[in-house]
Structure 1
Amino acid sequence: MTEWRREIDRLKKDRNAVILAHNYQLEEVQAVADYVGDSFYLSKIAAKVAAEVIVFCGVRFMAETAKILSPDKTVLLPEVAAGCPLADTITAQDIERLKQQHADAAVVCYINSSAQVKAASDVCCTSANAVKIAGSLPNKKLIFVPDKNLGDYIAKRLPEKEFVLGEGCCPTHAQVTPDHVEKMRARYPGAQLLVHPECCPEVTGQADFAGSTSAIIHSAESSAAQVFLIGTEIGVLFALKASQPHKQFILLHEGLVCPDMKKTNIQSVYNALANNCHEIMNDKALFDKARQSISRMLELA
């Protein structure tokens, strides 16, 4: 580990590179990153960072978003096969069909989507800013894609709006059921339940707090509670335990492990820097159009 880190630090300096890592990445990857956070935080970093090279430790749509925001930078995805099943549930063609059916609606796409979907949408959002973005739009009717659970979470907080929701969901978060909540609450009475809004409504409805990974971390930091049930991907436990070692954090369900997020390891990061693996190429026409929905998100948020 020490040798890998030494070589990565050398390559970062030689290439004027920066490493961004999502909260769901392996602990060894988070340890070598310059910035760790949720999609919203990393999007803002990607848009303003001065480095010439961005190594994005996450999944493809995240690295793609970084390239959209920084087209003149070299953006590397350490593991080319790191995708997102949720993002794969919606296409630009699906968006066009929904627009035809709901001509008066604005299209809000979750950042967990392809560049093609972002290009076909009016505005992008993350789980951290979704309610704020949707609430700021003048349209009464909104098409929200692709995550139906996050869409339901937003709709419940904006009853004045009418929502048309996509049918996608995160297969990792969707594994959690109310039964899991009931069993874990019985095992840890008095524990606070903090969940991601990609969980189903029956789970988020029972939570003490629902929000993005960064918001979950902040909620735990500000709470006087000592025991927490965490309803999001296991990677967030690294930051929670590091910042609050005196508190106890228990994963709500053992299935909260994203296979794609776990594909990247410290050797992947080294290979990306040493061998330029795997560069996200700029599709100028597509990315210019996709940038409009992301830039609008950054303006509104």
Structure 2
Amino acid sequence: KAESDICCTSANVVQVIRSVPADQTIFMTPDRNLAQYAQKKSGRSVQYWDGFCHVHNNLSAEQVQKVKAAHPEALFIAHPECRPEVLELTDEIKSTSGMLTFVKQSRHKAFILGTEIGILHQLAKANPEKVLIPADENMICPDMKKTGLPDILTALESLQPQITVAQAVRVRAKQALDRMLAVPRD
């Protein structure tokens, strides 16, 4: 973040891209799929690094078509870090927080979810009357599974492990975060 002028999340990427003055070139890292989505939605030219979230990138259009055929009554909601050809098949494109809100507010009863399957537990608790179908059972992020409640408890009780960031890096990273937070949300 310290090397960025501004940062974003999947929830605010379009607003952040639109906030950049038109005469400035936008180079986005690390996710090419999110950058392509933001470019399409914002109408701005976005250059991007050829990186991706392997969990979202591995979801194929063929897999989505298979699940949609098996559950024609379900709406397909995908995360914007999925490949463009997957996003073309969606009923809705939502960030993780956007999915939580959309499913809760929707009158629809069945949803196919194109994102990390860990969200299914949270969605099921909040929406026990709805049918939640993973687009692919293999959409599991091992990095997201590294930290559990015992780790969080230990960190809160002992304030360990402690991470130290150089002051110059902290200041630059905070500038990028502050710029993002200053962008109006829709």
Task: Please state which band the TM-score falls in when normalised by the shorter chain.
Answer: over 0.9
C-alpha distance in 2, partners of 1:200/1:270? 36
Residue deviations 1:120-151, cap 9 Å, x none? 22111111000001111113431111100000
Quote the Cα distance in structure 1 between the aligned partners of 2:66 and 2:45: 35
Structure number with the higher strand fraction is: 1
Q: Deviations over 1:48-101 (max 9, x none)?
A: xxxxxxxxxxxxxxxxxxxxxxxxxxxxxxxxxxxxxxxxxxxxxxxxxxxxxx
State how 1:27-46 maps to structure 2 within 5 Å.
none
Partner amino acid, structure 1, of 2:7 = C
In 2: Cα distance, 1:195 partner to 1:188 partner: 15
Aligned to 1:149: 33
Q: Distance in 2 between matches of 1:295 and 1:264?
A: 27
- Matches for 1:243-282 after TM superposition, within 5 Å: 243-282=126-165
Deviation at 1:282, TM superposition (A): 3.1
Q: Is the 8 A contact 1:209 1:219 kept in 2?
A: no
Alignment of 1:87-126 (within 5 A): 118-126=1-9
Alignment of 1:145-184 (within 5 A): 145-159=29-43, 161-184=44-67
Matched residue, 2:180: 297
Match of 2:102 in 1: 219
Aligned counterparts of 2:112 and 2:142: Cα–Cα separation in 1: 21
> Which is bigger in relative contact order (C-alpha 8 A, separation at least 6)?
2
Distance 1:139 1:213 in 2: 29
**One-letter identity of the residue aligned with 1:129:** N
Q: In structure 2, what is the Cα distance between the partners aligned to 1:169 and 1:236?
A: 19
The equivalences for 1:167-206 within 5 A come to 167-206=50-89
Aligned CA-pair RMSD? 1.3
- The TM-score, its normalising length taken from structure 1, stands at 0.59
Deviation at 1:279, TM superposition (A): 1.6
**In 1, distance between residues paired with 2:144 and 2:182?**
28
Structure 1 stretches of at least 4 aligned residues deviating more than 3 Å after TM superposition: none
Report the TM-score when normalising by structure 2.
0.93
CA distance in 1 between partners of 2:157 and 2:183 (Å): 38
For 2:30, the aligned partner's letter is: P
